[in-house]
Amino acid sequence: MDWTQQIDSQHSGTLLRLLYLMEDGKRFCLILAEYTLGEYRNTIIKELASHYPDQAIVSAAHSEDIVATLKATAATASVIHIIDTQCWFDDSKDYSLLHRLNQRREWLAQHVDRGLVIWLSVAQVSHFAHEAADLWAWRKALVNFCQAIEATPTPLVYRQVIDEDNSTLADKHQRLTEIQTYLASRTAYSLADALLWQEQARILRRMGDLDAALACTLQSVNINKAHNDKRATAVSYGDWADVLQARGEWDEALRIRHEEELPIYVALGDKRNIAVTMGKIADVLQARGAWDEALRIRREEELPVYEALGDKRSIAVSERKIADILIYRGELDQALLILTERCIPSMKAIGATKDVAVFQGIVADILQDRGKWDEALRIRRAEELPIYKALGDKRSIAITMGKIADVLQARGEWDEALRIRREEVLPVRVALGDKRGIAFTMGKIAEVLQARGEWGEALRIRREEQLPVYEALGDQHSLLIGQTNLAQLLQTLNPQQHATEIRQLLTTALNTAIDLHIPEQDIIRKRLQALEPDSKP
């Protein structure tokens, strides 16, 4: 089956149940399908055709002898849908048609011997159970494809959306309060409420409160599961894995993606989300240095799907991630080629200006790594920043300014680098409530102070404003990098005086790096070994 947006996500679980119970449709299996809207019923039947190409539809109203019709149809069809069953429930006929079907139950199983889906309205189901009790007893399942007939007013809280990246901390808090107040008033959660829990999770994650984000995501998973909305469950599992990834809990993130998220998308035939999920798996593998497998996934499992879907943006993003891998592997020329000749032109062609800026930024990163600072600065100032300013994307402006500061730092222009970080980057991070971003920027400020010989302040910042934040956020990856940098600082200050602390910091960082299976462990190991060349960590 190929997932389509025409199917209501809340019925994704029902669809999977039907497919599982029916199997290939080539043996007797009776499913009673409840529906409210005929058009939607037809949509479901149409979508099932991709799974059962030789399925057939039989109208009970147009079949004088339904049993004979079913037998004849079974000769060439697998699954048979029976629709227009109103005549079975005609009082004037005293349900005789239904009784006859009921009494031929064994005959049906023997001579029709196919998957049968009988489509019934809500009212007809209880009549069916009573008048065809033996057939009812043989049902594999009663599945529900009902939709609301009348539109109900949607509370305002469901319709308000904020830009998680660029809204201020005050806006974020306000939105969180709105959601929390509303959810507290609910006696039972609906699927729409699951989305609110998800939105909370995303805001909290952006604010760096990963524990709270995880709790909200779990709530969303549970609500979606309770409503048997498999697709929504997969989406919320994906969110869960995203939070775990942000915390550096990569093993668990991978497990959730492989065992909970992916199987649902595969069962639903949701090719796009399969590709997206595989891409996120590749992200983790990339971060762990498993570049070959990450590259294989991007080239063999992601790109082909986006190419088949004609999704230029996703193609470009995948290619950019391939470029990332090539950068990690030191194949910078190849990476640059992909970015400048494929990604950027693609994004310009579809008018995706923000993506153009993102890709320009990556090009600038590569140039920076190669020491081509002037060109890197030019790109940042002339290509990246103008786009973000035009879009009012404060977060991206701050990040870009931070990268400009990196270049200036590398060139020894420390005062300007410091000014940018203090006056143009940090205030934005604070306004957005981006705790991780604040800690990161403080670390960068500490770097500059270190370079200027202001050791005391650098040390204070690392100890009091950076590491505790990463610890509180549970961000293991950032923490181990922070610990390594602090060890480096102490080493520069006075290796003998701080020997114990240096060793403790590097050992803790190394153990975390080993747990996370990331390449940084080699660098940290070497630094530890350098402390005492004869000892083994």
DSSP label at 60? G
Cα 179 to Cα 181: distance, rounded to the nearest angstrom: 6
Using CB under 8 A as the binding rule, whether residue 274 contacts another protein is answered as: no
DSSP label at 155? P
Which one among 107, 180, 337, 495 touches another protein, defined by CB under 8 A?
A: 107
For another protein, the closer CB: 107 or 532:
107
Distance from chain centroid for Cα 221: 13
Within residues 428-467, the interface with another protein by CB under 8 A covers none
Using CB under 8 A as the binding rule, whether residue 99 contacts another protein is answered as: yes
Which one among 2, 106, 163, 341 touches another protein, defined by CB under 8 A?
A: 106
Minimum CB distance to another protein, residue 20 (Å): 4
What the block records as the tokens of 487 is 């060890």
Query: What one-letter code names the amino acid at 100?
Result: R
For another protein, the closer CB: 264 or 399:
264
Minimum CB distance to another protein, residue 304 (Å): 23
Cβ-based neighbours of 520, under 8 Å, separated by 6 or more: 480, 481, 484, 513
Between helix 210-226 and helix 230-246 the angle, nearest 10°, is 170
Within residues 192-251, the interface with another protein by CB under 8 A covers 225, 228
Q: Which range, of 134-142, 145-153, 300-308, 330-338, touches another protein by CB under 8 A?
A: 134-142
Angle 511-512-516 from CA coordinates, rounded to 5°: 120
Minimum CB distance to another protein, residue 106 (Å): 5
Minimum CB distance to another protein, residue 102 (Å): 8
Question: Which residues make beta-bridge pairs with 141?
Answer: 31
Minimum CB distance to another protein, residue 79 (Å): 16
What are the phi and psi torsion angles at 63 (to 5°)?
-115, 110
Using CB under 8 A as the binding rule, whether residue 172 contacts another protein is answered as: no
* Residue of 260, 290, 289 whose CA lies nearest to 273: 260
In Å, what is the CA distance from 518 to each residue of 257, 456, 477, 506? Answer: 19, 31, 9, 15
Cα 383 to Cα 35: distance, rounded to the nearest angstrom: 54
Using CB under 8 A as the binding rule, whether residue 87 contacts another protein is answered as: no
For another protein, the closer CB: 134 or 464:
134
Q: Which range, of 70-78, 135-143, 158-166, 491-499, touches another protein by CB under 8 A?
A: 135-143
For another protein, the closer CB: 227 or 477:
227
Neighbours of 246 (CB within 10 A): 20
Q: Which range, of 256-264, 286-294, 337-345, 392-400, touches another protein by CB under 8 A?
A: 256-264
What the block records as the tokens of 314 is 């996703």
Using CB under 8 A as the binding rule, whether residue 391 contacts another protein is answered as: no
Per the CB < 8 A criterion, the answer to whether 142 and 34 are in contact is yes
Within residues 15-34, the interface with another protein by CB under 8 A covers 16-17, 20-21, 23, 28, 30
Contacts with another protein by CB under 8 A: the residue count is 37
For another protein, the closer CB: 140 or 205:
140
Q: Which range, of 101-109, 349-357, 426-434, 475-483, touches another protein by CB under 8 A?
A: 101-109
Residue the block writes with tokens 């080629």: 337
Minimum CB distance to another protein, residue 94 (Å): 10
Per the CB < 8 A criterion, the answer to whether 78 and 52 are in contact is yes
Minimum CB distance to another protein, residue 423 (Å): 52
Mode of pairing for the β-strands spanning 56-59 and 29-35: unpaired
* Sheet with 141-145, edge to edge strand ranges: 56-59, 80-83, 115-121, 29-35, 141-145
Minimum CB distance to another protein, residue 447 (Å): 47
Mode of pairing for the β-strands spanning 29-35 and 115-121: parallel
Which one among 130, 255, 348, 526 touches another protein, defined by CB under 8 A?
A: 130
For another protein, the closer CB: 105 or 517:
105
In Å, what is the CA distance from 109 to each residue of 60, 141, 263? Answer: 18, 16, 32
Q: Which range, of 36-44, 140-148, 168-176, 304-312, touches another protein by CB under 8 A?
A: 140-148
Cα 338 to Cα 510: distance, rounded to the nearest angstrom: 34
Which one among 58, 264, 398, 490 touches another protein, defined by CB under 8 A?
A: 264
Angle 456-458-460 from CA coordinates, rounded to 5°: 70
Cα 7 to Cα 49: distance, rounded to the nearest angstrom: 14
Using CB under 8 A as the binding rule, whether residue 141 contacts another protein is answered as: yes
Per the CB < 8 A criterion, the answer to whether 118 and 86 are in contact is no
The span from the first CA to the last CA of the chain, in angstroms, equals 53
Which one among 43, 59, 103, 508 touches another protein, defined by CB under 8 A?
A: 103
For another protein, the closer CB: 137 or 530:
137
Using CB under 8 A as the binding rule, whether residue 89 contacts another protein is answered as: no
Using CB under 8 A as the binding rule, whether residue 140 contacts another protein is answered as: yes
Using CB under 8 A as the binding rule, whether residue 508 contacts another protein is answered as: no
Cα 334 to Cα 422: distance, rounded to the nearest angstrom: 36
Q: Which range, of 39-47, 107-115, 281-289, 460-468, touches another protein by CB under 8 A?
A: 107-115
Minimum CB distance to another protein, residue 65 (Å): 10
Using CB under 8 A as the binding rule, whether residue 133 contacts another protein is answered as: yes
Per the CB < 8 A criterion, the answer to whether 303 and 318 are in contact is yes
Q: Which range, of 94-102, 302-310, 457-465, 517-525, touches another protein by CB under 8 A?
A: 94-102
Cα 487 to Cα 326: distance, rounded to the nearest angstrom: 30
* Contact residues for another protein, defined by CB under 8 A: 16-17, 20-21, 23, 28, 30, 99-100, 102-107, 109-110, 125-126, 129-130, 133-134, 136-142, 144, 225, 228, 259, 263-264, 267
